[in-house]
Structure 1
Amino acid sequence: RPGGKERSAAPQMTDFEIPTSFWYELKSLTEALMENIQLSVRDAVASAVFQTMLTVCHRKRPKLCKQLLKRIAEYLTGHSAAPGVSPLLVFLKDQASSHLIETMIQFSHKSLLRDLYKHHLKGNLVDLALHAIANFPIQRLTAASAKHKHFVRLFDELVQGVEAILASGHMGVIVQLAESCAESGERQGEMMQCLLQAFHCAEPGSRHVSCLPLFMSLLTYEVYYQSEAEEGSTQKEVPLTSICYHGSRLVQALAKFKERSLLLSSLRTMSPADLLTLASDPAGSHVLQALITTSSDKGKGKILKRLEGQYVHMASSRLGSRVLEAVWNSCTVSQRKSIAQELAPCETQLRADQFARHVWAKFALSHFVQRRAHWQEIQTGESRKRKMFSDILE
């Protein structure tokens, strides 16, 4: 658009047909790499070539990828090491080889993942998760294992070190563990309980309602509320100010759990001002959107009740307006009507705002003001269509 602000778009991967001769060259190159497998570890540039080859073969030649994976795994696990210690543990802590191991884990099949864990990593996961370099391959392993049975054993080992991992600042490990629990459907209750304990809000039970701001800020109860850990102490109101990226990612993962009542209860106890802060925050807005849009109509209504009086401010915010639109798309007609009734009297203010004017148009609020019965009829029709498509997709 002339005069518009340029945005950096992620490059798109294009799939296209290539000459048959290329595949023979690819096979020859792969065989040459397998003959010089030691380069994959010793040389950072060669490691990048191996990673690229694995990526290409995984997409186009799975059998070739499997052969290359097997050869790399044999090399990484076949070197001599101290008695009872896998050589893989050394490579995991090396800057160059750890990247290759990440790629190897990403494309590994179930049996290879199981063998890597059983014969080389079992009993060492927490130590590796605490390491500045090795924690990244452990994140990849946790992600790749989510679809397989051995994830439960991996979880049971890692969960023992959650507090230590949190203290080390390797939040990616914790976030990935939660995401894998969500994907696999396993150990979700244990994960939530472990986090409650790690953030010191498991006991007494009255602290449960504080879990959401604690998770989002990655602060323990005592630090967040600046209080001593006394069972009888009264919780004081603390405005929501600290929302971090990994905290947001963690809560978004927990929002996919089957049992989310603790998160929703915590959200409903937050003040309207805190909810507005959440909606307007780059990290927090994703949390609020995820929790509201995936709630039942009844649960959504309870949260929207807390947001009453904040819709104009949300509509006038760059991020808040996006959340409001997402919430609107998931609302019932009566809930939409309540939102529209709050926004309609502020027509001049909303139409003059660079973000709110889009909300005004998308919600058809001019129509709501002038022809309310017809507006409601249209909204009812849209709601039925959305429900019909939702039923088809399910």
Structure 2
Amino acid sequence: MEEERGRGEKVKKERRVREKVARSAWTPSVWAISAVSEKGSVKALKMMRRELSSLFILTPSSTEMFVENVLTEVKGKAALVATDRTGSITLQRLLPLSSPQQVGEVLAELGGESGSEFKAVSCDRCGGHVVESAVRQMSRWMESSQKESSPPTEEEGEESCGLLEAQVLSFSQVVRDNTAEFIRHVHGSHVVRTLLHVLGGCLGPPRTETRPGGKERSIPPQLTDFEIPTSFWYELKDLTETLMENINLSVTDAVASAVFQTMLTVCHRKRPKLCKQLLRRIMEYLTSRSAAPGVSPLLVFLKDQASSHLIETIIQLSHKPLLRGLYKNHLKGQLVDLALHPIANFPIQRLTAASAKYKLFLRIFDELVQGVEAILAAGHMGVIVQLAESCAESEERQDEMMQCLLNAFHCAEPGSRHVACLPLFMSLLTYEVYYHSDTAEGNISTEIPLTSICYHGSRLVQALAKFKERSLLLSSLRTLSPSDLLSMATDPAGSHVLQALITTSSDKGRGKILKRLEGQYVQMACSRLGSRVLEAVWNSSSVGQRQSIAQELVPSESQLRSDQFARHVWAKFALSHFAHRRAHWQEIQTGESKKRKLFSDILE
């Protein structure tokens, strides 16, 4: 009864909130603006932010009423609210709910009569986020025009977004008039980067939704394309031209360098011809700077923290002639030295990746392979991993790469050491270090438990697993004990290796590995990582192999059904069917196997 009474009170409270927000007389923004304008406590504004969350349970008409009330109170105080921390967050949440006309009005007030106020607000740590959020709403201009009275006309769409479009163009003009100040400013530069995306017609997720500490920080954001007005097409060209007049800042200032990287990325996606021109002009600038006699100035820029990031982007976006000229005129004979440098090794990784589609890769490989041991000793494993990945992609120099790694990890000679290659590659340790031997000779115990699997070692083996010839890796895998295989399956880095090697094997080779895994399936199923590997193995296995796995799992039904990970394995493998209706289970599995084989034949 008490629980029901509590739920009833909660429902009544939510209803009261909706009624208060729906009333046009109720404007919580009054409290908020007064709190900010009087420089007093932000308690009232925080209250408004809490109430703003209730918008998600309101009807569209109530939401429009609420937004209109708040923006009415903001008029005359927009800059003050935008530069307040709590006010900034509130406006950022309101603007996506506002109409383009309302957003345009907010921008107009932030910029002032001539747009001269844009600079101060954009370069503020809080105000910059508001300007970004407002500019981003331009992505809804086509969507807004389609919501007008049916059938919508082009003129009506232009009228509804005319103010916002004009304000974005006005802001872009201010950026062009103050380019150097904007692109060097830690906050203003982010607004310029958002402006470039909007003028180009592609947007990533808002900065407020990023997770700085997340694993995905190195992954480029997913961009979404949208229609833009014709005026933006020309404005982007003008803005890039103005930025190019300040190209010197791109190599001396890390913040400005990021703006140029965004410019190139947007143009590469939306204006390929313009991007080629920009790439050529930037390379001409970088290679024309003065340096020591006989030394390319590009070698200096490659070793600089700010300019190296720009060069990485240039390499990633370059077309074949530019890459070929870059190597021939500036980098030939210097790759190993650059790969050993703590900063320059990253552009070399990008060059190795970009060249995989061309014959240029053969020359780059032949040069880098000479310094593999030195690069390993320097700890720049990204270079080695990328070299292996490019060999897999290009299907070139794979035998040479494998032999080079065997030599580097001291397991090439005698031939009996070949079977130890997998643990060595995964741990990135030489034979002597891994097996605790001071010399290369003598009897060494190879019964060392598999304990150290590192991230780059995992990526290296995953790349090698894509080679045409994988017999050395598979032979080494089959020598590992069942406990070592279980350690691999439940390790964050090792699980990816085991999955790659098993799923890419032939049915016969997979059967040999699964034979070694017998007795470990229950523990794998009860592991977060092991269950994922087991599912991948199941999907690539034959009906007979699936039956062997199921026979081992079914006796542990109670354990599997009660485990948070294994219960999904039980359901996906249809083990209840296997236990009680085996003939039906086998019929279903055979049908799935035939389907999978048919599709794989079509794809091949």
TM-score (norm 1): 0.96
Q: Tell me, what secondary structure is at the counterpart of 1:38?
A: helix
Amino acid at match of 1:318: R
Q: Out of 389, 394, 398, which is 1:188 matched to?
A: 398
**Residue 30 (structure 2) aligns with:** none
Q: Out of 207, 216, 219, which is 2:426 matched to?
A: 216
**1:153 equivalent in alignment to 2:363:** yes
Per-residue deviation, 1:388:
1.1
Amino acid at match of 2:603: L
**Residue 71 (structure 1) aligns with:** 281
Amino acid at match of 1:21: S
Cα shift readout 1:165-203 (whole Å, capped 9, x = no counterpart): 001111000000000010011111010000000000000
**Residue 26 (structure 2) aligns with:** none
Q: Tell me, what secondary structure is at the counterpart of 2:247?
A: coil
In structure 1, C-alpha distance between the alignment counterparts of 2:580 and 2:368, rounded to whole Å: 59
**Residue 261 (structure 1) aligns with:** 471
In structure 2, C-alpha distance between the alignment counterparts of 1:76 and 1:330, rounded to whole Å: 50
Cα shift readout 1:147-172 (whole Å, capped 9, x = no counterpart): 11111111011011100100111100
In structure 2, C-alpha distance between the alignment counterparts of 1:357 and 1:340, rounded to whole Å: 14
The 8 Å contact of residues 435 and 444 in structure 2, kept in 1 or not, is answered as no
| Sequence identity (%) | 85
**Residue 345 (structure 1) aligns with:** 555
The 8 Å contact of residues 201 and 210 in structure 1, kept in 2 or not, is answered as yes
Q: Tell me, what secondary structure is at the counterpart of 2:241?
A: helix
Q: Tell me, what secondary structure is at the counterpart of 1:81?
A: coil
**Residue 44 (structure 1) aligns with:** 254
**Residue 513 (structure 2) aligns with:** 303
Q: 1:359-370 residue pairs with structure 2 within 5 A?
A: 359-370=569-580
Alignment length (residue pairs): 388
In structure 1, C-alpha distance between the alignment counterparts of 2:250 and 2:293, rounded to whole Å: 25
In structure 1, C-alpha distance between the alignment counterparts of 2:481 and 2:423, rounded to whole Å: 12
In structure 2, C-alpha distance between the alignment counterparts of 1:306 and 1:382, rounded to whole Å: 25
Q: Out of 330, 334, 344, which is 2:544 matched to?
A: 334
Per-residue deviation, 1:19:
1.3
**1:61 equivalent in alignment to 2:271:** yes
**Residue 582 (structure 2) aligns with:** 372
Q: 1:70-89 residue pairs with structure 2 within 5 A?
A: 70-89=280-299
In structure 2, C-alpha distance between the alignment counterparts of 1:28 and 1:148, rounded to whole Å: 34
Structure 2: gaps of 5 or more residues? 1-210
**1:243 equivalent in alignment to 2:453:** yes
Cα shift readout 1:4-45 (whole Å, capped 9, x = no counterpart): xxx979664211111121110111111122232212112222
Q: Out of 207, 231, 254, which is 1:21 matched to?
A: 231
Amino acid at match of 1:367: H
**Residue 353 (structure 2) aligns with:** 143
In structure 2, C-alpha distance between the alignment counterparts of 1:381 and 1:229, rounded to whole Å: 56
Structure with the larger RCO, 1 or 2 (CA within 8 Å, 6+ apart): 1
In structure 1, C-alpha distance between the alignment counterparts of 2:411 and 2:228, rounded to whole Å: 58
The 8 Å contact of residues 385 and 460 in structure 2, kept in 1 or not, is answered as yes
In structure 1, C-alpha distance between the alignment counterparts of 2:486 and 2:571, rounded to whole Å: 22
**1:133 equivalent in alignment to 2:347:** no
Per-residue deviation, 1:231:
3.7
Q: Which moved more, 1:12-21 or 1:128-137?
A: 12-21
Cα shift readout 1:181-234 (whole Å, capped 9, x = no counterpart): 100111110100000000000000000000000000000000000013334424
In structure 1, C-alpha distance between the alignment counterparts of 2:355 and 2:240, rounded to whole Å: 26
Q: 1:275-314 residue pairs with structure 2 within 5 A?
A: 275-314=485-524
In structure 2, C-alpha distance between the alignment counterparts of 1:68 and 1:39, rounded to whole Å: 15
In structure 1, C-alpha distance between the alignment counterparts of 2:576 and 2:602, rounded to whole Å: 32
**Residue 35 (structure 1) aligns with:** 245
TM-score (norm 2): 0.63
Q: Out of 475, 483, 507, which is 1:273 matched to?
A: 483
The 8 Å contact of residues 204 and 231 in structure 1, kept in 2 or not, is answered as no
Q: Out of 384, 388, 407, which is 1:178 matched to?
A: 388
Q: Tell me, what secondary structure is at the counterpart of 1:229?
A: coil
Pair 1:265–1:9, CA change in 2 (3 A): closer
In structure 2, C-alpha distance between the alignment counterparts of 1:227 and 1:315, rounded to whole Å: 37
The 8 Å contact of residues 362 and 396 in structure 2, kept in 1 or not, is answered as yes
Per-residue deviation, 1:371:
0.6
Structure 1: gaps of 5 or more residues? 1-6
**1:354 equivalent in alignment to 2:564:** yes
Cα shift readout 1:236-273 (whole Å, capped 9, x = no counterpart): 30000000000000000000011110000000110000
**Residue 3 (structure 1) aligns with:** none
Amino acid at match of 1:342: E
Q: Tell me, what secondary structure is at the counterpart of 1:80?
A: coil
In structure 2, C-alpha distance between the alignment counterparts of 1:57 and 1:315, rounded to whole Å: 47
Amino acid at match of 2:278: L
In structure 1, C-alpha distance between the alignment counterparts of 2:562 and 2:244, rounded to whole Å: 64
Cα shift readout 1:86-130 (whole Å, capped 9, x = no counterpart): 000000000000000000000000111011111100111111001
Amino acid at match of 1:178: A
**Residue 327 (structure 2) aligns with:** 117
In structure 1, C-alpha distance between the alignment counterparts of 2:369 and 2:451, rounded to whole Å: 29
**1:207 equivalent in alignment to 2:401:** no
Cα shift readout 1:335-388 (whole Å, capped 9, x = no counterpart): 000000000111111111111111011000010000111100000001111111
Larger radius of gyration: 2
The 8 Å contact of residues 482 and 517 in structure 2, kept in 1 or not, is answered as yes
